[in-house]
Structure 1
Amino acid sequence: MSLHKQPELKDAVLNLPQKEKDKLLVRLVSKDKMLMKQLHFQLLESQVDLEDRIEQLNNTLRNLFAENRHTIKNIPQYSNYRELQSLLRQASGLVNEHEKVTKDKFSEIACRIFLLKEAFERFPTLFEASAIHAAFKLHLYVKARIKATANKFDKLHEDLQFDLHEDMQQVLDFALANRLL
């Protein structure tokens, strides 16, 4: 239940002594892992730490693709479509967490473009037309990721867009050529 639906409880909490509020706050924060990560980033980290986080995320994403280069083949088979979609979902989850913690839109979009570009460069055959249902699901997922990334890209400041423009254009060109858009 929301605290906003119980104004008397909200008033009672606000009227608690500071020491009691501090204890409650620490107990509540410890129950939410994402909130803990967000607070840690906001309160204890600097711009240098953000750059380290971005570099670490980029390395993790590169390693994910490198580790799966042997399990996912560029051959239109059911298992390859499923494995690639699973890989993209896993990588997207890492980017989502990074964005929720840091609120850094530029690195989020750069990583999303990287994911799409890597998938297209490494597995172009998997994005050709296919009658396999897993291919259809992969293509739907990738279409949605492209649209979401393009929308976020369009909302970036034009100076930041300039830095990502070439890669974004490559993603869009590939998607158009393969009828993903």
Structure 2
Amino acid sequence: MSLHKDPELKEAVLQLPPKEKDKLLVRLISKDKMLMKQLHYQLLENEDDLGDRIVALRQKLQDLLEPSHSGIKNVAMYSNYRSLTALLRQASGMITEHEKITKDKFSEVEFRLLILALAFEHYPILFQKSYVSISDKLHRYVATRIQSTRNKYDKLHEDLQFDLRDLFDKVETFASEHPQLA
């Protein structure tokens, strides 16, 4: 039940003594890991920490999609399509968590473009037309990610778009050469 739907409870909570409210707040926060991460970032970190977070996440994403690390081969096989789809979903989850914590739209778009560009660079065979049925699932997922990233990119200020133009163009060019990603 939402606190907004029970105004009596909301008023009672607001009337609690500060010490009791603090204890209750700390107990509630500890139950929500995302809220804890958001509060940690907002209250204890600064711009330098955002830069460190961006560098660390960029390295994690590059390592995650590296063929020697992922074990995925650039060969049109069922397991490779399935593994790459799972890997892209995992990377997307890491980016979503980063954005929810930092609220940094620029780095979110940069990372979404980065994982697409890395996937296209490392696994181009898996994005060609294929008769392996699971390839459609990967292609639909990537097409959706491209469209979503394109929309987020378009919402950025033109100066920020300029900073990401090369990466954006790289992704758009690859996608335009592969009609199944449209």
Relative to the length of structure 2, the TM-score reads: 0.96
Give the 5 Å matches for 1:1-181.
1-66=1-66, 68=68, 71-179=71-179, 180-181=181-182
Q: Cα deviations across residues 61-102 of structure 1 (Å, max 9, x unaligned)?
A: 111122655621111111110111111111111111101100
Unaligned runs of 5+ in 1: none
Measured in 1, the distance between the counterparts of 2:107 and 2:6 equals 39
Measured in 1, the distance between the counterparts of 2:42 and 2:67 equals 32
Q: What's the offset of the Cα at 1:121? A: 0.8
Q: What's the offset of the Cα at 1:116? A: 0.2
Cα 1:117–1:12 change in 2 (3 A) is same
Measured in 2, the distance between the counterparts of 1:34 and 1:70 equals 27
- The AA in structure 2 aligned to 1:44 is L
CA contact (8 A) 2:66 2:122 kept: no
Residue identity over aligned pairs, in percent, reads: 60
Query: Structure 1 residue runs of 4+, over 4 Å off?
Result: 67-70
Unaligned runs of 5+ in 2: none
Q: CA RMSD in A?
A: 1.1
Q: Cα deviations across residues 4-47 of structure 1 (Å, max 9, x unaligned)?
A: 11110001101111111111100000110000000000000000
Cα 1:123–1:67 change in 2 (3 A) is closer
Measured in 2, the distance between the counterparts of 1:31 and 1:67 equals 37
